[in-house]
Structure 1
Amino acid sequence: MLTNHHIDLTAAEVASLWSNYMSDTSAICMFDFFLIHVEDTEIRSLLEFAMKLSQAHVKKLQSIFNEENHPIPEGFSISVDVNRECPRLFTDDFHLFFIQNLGKMGVEFYATALSNCARLDICEYFTECLHESSKLFNKATEIMLSKGSFIRAPFIPASKKVEYVQKQGYLAGWFGQKRPLNAVEMSQIYFNMIQNQLGRTFLMGFSQVAKLKKVREYMKRGRDISDKHVEIFGSLLSQEFLPSASAWDTMPTDSTVPPFSDKLMMFHTSVLNSVGIAHYGRSLGVSPRRDLGSIYVRLTAEVLQYAEDGMTIMIDNKWFEQPPQATNRDKLANG
């Protein structure tokens, strides 16, 4: 459908475009440093593919912001936020795991962004990004499977027939006998455990190289929270005699030289916090067993407090770039 007048971007579209720019500029910084040290040719090719996608996104986003007379966010840059002379911090296996997770988060982000769009040109942009993220995820998964580093979710026997829940005891979990986990609950537990393993490795590496003591302590605290959550989710599976994904144990190197600015590392940590909170909320909504709901509420509260403390550090150091916001009408009315 063509229109003969200009349609302004909605708040939802501005929010998605702004967040996309921040995420892709930060990802470019990570890819640049990873590419300096990656040794595996397949993983290098995947990193180069991801880098090209992010660079194309940034160029397109800059064009959109200019056309709409919106300021281009500062975001992140290699020249400011990356020290290319540093030794390797993460292994090739982690680079691959990071790319796969980035594709996974991209699919979620772009699907949400697309569903909130009204302008067709913005819809088309996010549709293309969604396809690219799917391709990136599939490529990473294929390589992980070929290398034997992909940890599958637990298997369960095939159901013999379709059944309906007959008793309220299906919801029980605090007292009395608990039913076995259903497949939906199991998939959420596994997913959250994998995400926390990624966060634990990231924060472990960041805690070794952060310049400011307060940032190092914050990363150590996050590492310990992620480790505790991995143990909680693993125990839920082990109680059902199901294998956990704890075999994934790729750790950072012993480098203590900072390859990234504290600002960039704090931003990545804030993204992990936001994604973790969203995933816990989703898991809470599809987990009928009451004990699981209680666990997700408790863990969410812990991550919320950790995220707020991180925002305080970012604000104190003037690292938190403010998203576009509504006009303060009271301030205008008061002159």
Structure 2
Amino acid sequence: MSDKPAITSSELGVLWLTYQEKTMILRILEHFIEKADDEKAKDIMTNLYGEINNYVGRIKDTLQNEGAVIPVGFTDQDVNKDVPKLYDNGFDIMFVRLLKEISMALHSLNITMCYREDLVILFKELTAITQQYYNLCTQYLLEKGLLIKSPHVTMPKSIEFVKDNSYMGGLAINPFSEKRALNTVEVAQIHHAIESNVFGLEMITGFAQCANEKEVKVYFNEGVELAKGIVKELSEVFIQGGIPVPQTPGGNATRSTIAPFSDKLMMYCVSLFCSFSMGSGSIGTAFSLRNDIPAKMAIFMKDIFEYAHKGGKIMIKNGWMEEPPQMEERKQIIKK
């Protein structure tokens, strides 16, 4: 018997979610490593694979020691390594970089929901590894010229305070209202949103090309149009402010129509990205003081939520949505 305290419901929940995410990443890496044509990129992904595989084993051991069933997650059946490349031109490392960005946010949040010291340590270690590989991916993409930095700005020479409410001008309902120049906090959030959606556009384009189920293919095509709309709207904000619009020079879908991943895995990946996008949008809204920007973000988040909800229904219909561990059904127990 373990001398450690039993894990709580929240600890079980974050372990379960982490197992789902990490097994998905392992399957994606297996395809990318097999098809990598750049040795440095292959080394980054191979080393990351080893790190993640180790932590998947630790999570499995923890669940077994607690007497909990091991989730299915994503297995060898969800990846086909012996198919043509679905993406080219640095897309593999771009994909890994965004996955590590999502993981950083999840691991930091997971720490706050853990109490047992070994689990806090586990997520602290995962956070450190994720930060390490996020930086490796970023530096790789910069060296290869595949990542566009946000625009430069003249450094401030004095401290300024907001003098009146016109600073918040720019309501979408009044297109003739005065719009001040974007501040650097707003530029950072918009640049990040454009960059993420440009990448998401390429990712889901590839998914649409190779999806097996017609309903899934149609769903991914809808996602392509949604990402295009978001990129167009946010790019217009930059254009109006005379700010360069980021254009990712790398990462594109090939002509292949043979799926390296199962429809189940691709649907889960899109669901994960939608959740991340809504979270990022909420942060962008919270830190923007120009009223037209939160108004746009709110519409985007509503559209993304509805899109993700539709995807959830497709996953349930096809038996692809693994159910998280449930709390006791007290009313049913009492009835029995």
| TM-score normalised by structure 2 residue count | 0.95
Q: Given the alignment, which residue of 52, 55, 58 partners 1:54? A: 52
1:182 aligns with 2:179: no
1:26 aligns with 2:24: yes
* 1:73 aligned residue: 71
Letter in 2 for 1:115: T
* 2:102 aligned residue: 105
Checking the alignment, whether the CA contact within 8 Å between 1:234 and 1:246 is kept in structure 2 is: no
* 2:199 aligned residue: 198
* 1:235 aligned residue: 236
Checking the alignment, whether the CA contact within 8 Å between 1:29 and 1:77 is kept in structure 2 is: yes
Q: Given the alignment, which residue of 135, 144, 147 partners 1:147? A: 144
Structure 1 stretches (4+) deviating beyond 3 angstroms? none
Alignment deviations for residues 102-160 of structure 1 (CA, whole Å, 9 cap, x no partner): 22222111111112221111010001001000100111111112112121011111111
| TM-score normalised by structure 1 residue count | 0.96
Q: Distance in 1 between matches of 2:184 and 2:10?
A: 34
Q: Distance in 2 between matches of 1:91 and 1:30?
A: 14
Alpha-carbon deviation of 1:12? 2.2
Q: Distance in 2 between matches of 1:322 and 1:302?
A: 25
* 2:280 aligned residue: 279
Alignment deviations for residues 70-117 of structure 1 (CA, whole Å, 9 cap, x no partner): 111100112x11122211101141001111112222211111111222
Alignment deviations for residues 17-55 of structure 1 (CA, whole Å, 9 cap, x no partner): 111100110111111111111100110011102211221
* 1:332 aligned residue: 333
Comparing 96-105 with 21-30, greater Cα deviation is found at 96-105
Letter in 1 for 2:132: K
Residues 313-328 of structure 1 mapped to structure 2, 5 A cutoff? 313-328=314-329
* 1:40 aligned residue: 38
Letter in 1 for 2:222: R
Q: Kindly tell me the number of residue pairs found equivalent between the two proteins.
A: 331
1:123 aligns with 2:124: no
Residues 165-180 of structure 1 mapped to structure 2, 5 A cutoff? 165-174=162-171, 175=174, 176-180=177-181
Alpha-carbon deviation of 1:5? 5.5
Letter in 2 for 1:214: E
- In structure 2, relative to structure 1, the CA distance for the partners of 1:36 and 1:198 (3 Å cut) is same
* 1:292 aligned residue: 293
Letter in 2 for 1:112: L
1:64 aligns with 2:65: no
1:252 aligns with 2:249: no
Checking the alignment, whether the CA contact within 8 Å between 2:198 and 2:248 is kept in structure 1 is: no
Say what the alpha-carbon RMSD is for the aligned residues: 1.3
Alpha-carbon deviation of 1:248? 3.3
- In structure 2, relative to structure 1, the CA distance for the partners of 1:288 and 1:11 (3 Å cut) is farther
**SS of equivalent to 2:308:** helix
Unpaired segments ≥5 residues, structure 2: none
Checking the alignment, whether the CA contact within 8 Å between 1:12 and 1:116 is kept in structure 2 is: yes
Letter in 2 for 1:313: I
Letter in 1 for 2:147: F
Alpha-carbon deviation of 1:203? 0.5
Letter in 1 for 2:5: I
